[in-house]
Structure 1
Amino acid sequence: MKIVYVALGFGRNDNLGGSVRVAAQNAIALVEAGHEVLFLCTNRKDRHDKLFNNIHSVIIDGVEVIYLNTVCIPFWPGDFGPHYVSIPDWVVEKIKEYQIIHLHEFRSYLSYRLTEIGNKFSIPVLMYPQGTFLQHNRKGILKKSYDFFLLKSIKKYKYFIACTKSEALDFEKNGINRDSIIILPNGIR
């Protein structure tokens, strides 16, 4: 199968946390299992610094990784904040060759854009938020404002992937259709 993986980073030389490392490990495991994986992520080390000045493409452990040029707001509160990711036409053409888009970031412009691209070209989009879905904690107000703008995207996902039964229940309690929820624990090895 040809799979597009999407996360804020690839987990090499960045400070973007565990979810990007999980996404990268899963992408590598899929390549080892015989799948073709295109991994799209930002070119950021963190909100303040870039890993690469522009778009950068490289093969890492059999995964084609494209670091997309990304602009962030450095003074924004929170971990990463609002960002804009430039997706050139040649990358869109490459995406059209794939069978599924697998998102690892719930509230990101990159996920929003890939959802739109997937729907435009009838490529199923899976959302794997890895614990980032709920609006609780000190970031709740920010998350609610993101959700207001991204609500249409939620309806465009083929499946929501939960890591646990409790996360699946959280999805249901927040309006996600039970039939579109799949439980898949972290790791595929």
Structure 2
Amino acid sequence: MAPNDAPTATIAAALRRERERAGISLAELARRAGLAKSTLSQLENGSGNPSIETLWSLGVALGVPFSRLVEPPAPTVRVVRAGDQVRLRADQADFAASLLAAGSTHARRDLYVLELEPGQPREAEAHIPGSVEHVVVAAGRLSAGPAGELVELGAGDYVAFPGDVPHHYEALEPGTWAVLLMEHR
């Protein structure tokens, strides 16, 4: 998959929409997410380049799924070609996530493709309350789960664990990739 730029216009519009829906100021959202107000202002103006960690923090602060901040409105029939996926990279791990489908207000779930390489593990913060992560490994091997309950998975293996607690992803082989279904209850 060829890397694509983060969808800055979509993110900017979604941040403004969700912040206004929550009825909070730019300064208050920045405080809740642990960001500088100037950083948030740049993101809302479409001039920032957010990492996965920044967007997760904003989603948690707003009480919305990550996907609501990055997913443009979808047509009734939607095809995502492998080379056209928008890949967002982690700051501190060789970890990329591509959102394939976001849930509606009635079906709160998001579908991702994860690409991982051995090296620095992805240490994820807790997501919104009630989140559950469902992972199926497609190729390679990985270690995943909440702290203290990590499991090793190979191709074809499945695990489900709470996403609303700090958790971990680590590739154990080069070329590891998995499908993640994030459920928001």
What TM-score do you get using the length of structure 1 for normalisation?
0.32
What TM-score do you get using the length of structure 2 for normalisation?
0.33
- Structure with higher helix content: 1
- Structure with higher strand content: 2
